[in-house]
Amino acid sequence: MKIISENTVKPFYKKIFKTAIKMLGQPKYLSLGLNFMTKDEIKELNKVTRSIEEPTDVLSYPNLKLLAGEKAEKDVFTSEYDRTTRALFLGEIVICEEIAKEQALEYGHSLKRELGFLFVHGLLHLLGYDHIHPEDEKIMRYWQDKILSELKLDR
């Protein structure tokens, strides 16, 4: 398990990653990129990559074409497997801490809980989960709640 980041990755995110991967039945040889941006930076990224000209709390950029619940197998995705790090690269998660702070206040919970939620949300997107359709949203919400509860990051 590895998180590649331009910033120093806190043990907090590594613990969430390790717990989520285990609970979701995924292999340990996965990696992802994690970065943090200001409101202005994430607004620009959202505009360039999604044609939405507003800031957002989290963006995910999957590297693999996975279906929700499908296990990532290194022998199937050989081009994304880095033999040096021995990890299969899932993709990138970008979080805006400014927006996370605002949302933590709005929802009445800790910043730690909000950042944990955003990270799990982004990770689930990298693993093929989505919330476009109500039935998919139910499944994604179930895993978000279950993982956050296991980490004692409940609301």
Question: 0.85 cut: is pTM over it?
Answer: yes
Q: How far apart are CA 56 and CA 45, in angstroms?
A: 10
Outline where DSSP puts E strands in 30-79: 30-37, 58-62
**Residue ranges per structural domain of the chain:** 2-150
Note down pLDDT in tens along the chain; length 155 residues. 455 555 555 889 999 999 999 999 998 889 899 999 999 999 999 999 999 999 999 999 998 777 677 777 655 555 676 767 778 889 999 999 999 999 999 999 999 999 999 999 999 999 999 999 999 999 999 999 999 999 999 87
The token pair that represents 129 in the structure block: 């989960």
Helices within the chain (DSSP H only): 11-23, 39-50, 97-107, 111-126, 134-150
Q: Quick one: CATH architecture of 2-150?
A: 3-Layer(aba) Sandwich (3.40)
